[in-house]
């Protein structure tokens, strides 16, 4: 989890860029490979941001 206290740093959803997505995918693939019983699962990623004091969720973000 990463927190930003001011809007001047950009949109929270933009903080999960291509490099972070690549690292998260790789970590998930490694974890799933170590759990053969879960091979049938399809992984997807969600991003959650706090905007104007409210939680917003981006489903199937990447």
**Residue 28 CB partners (closer than 8 Å, separation 6+):** 43, 45
Domain boundaries along the sequence of the chain: 10-58
pLDDT at 3: 62
pLDDT at 14: 87
Q: Please tell me the distance from the alpha carbon of residue 23 to that of residue 11, in angstroms, as a whole number.
A: 20
pLDDT tens-digit series, residues 9-36: 778 888 899 999 999 999 999 999 999 9
Contacts 24+ apart (CB under 8 A), 57-62: 58/13, 61/13, 61/16, 62/16, 62/21, 62/25
pLDDT at 42: 87
H or E segment and range at residue 21:
helix 18-33
């Amino acid at each position: 989890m990463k927190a930003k206290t001011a809007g001047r740093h950009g949109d929270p959803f933009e903080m999960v860029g291509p490099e972070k997505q690549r690292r998260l995918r790789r970590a998930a693939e490694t974890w799933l490979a170590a759990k053969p019983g879960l091979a049938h699962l399809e992984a997807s990623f969600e991003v959650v941001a706090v905007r104007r004091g409210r939680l917003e969720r981006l489903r199937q973000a990447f």
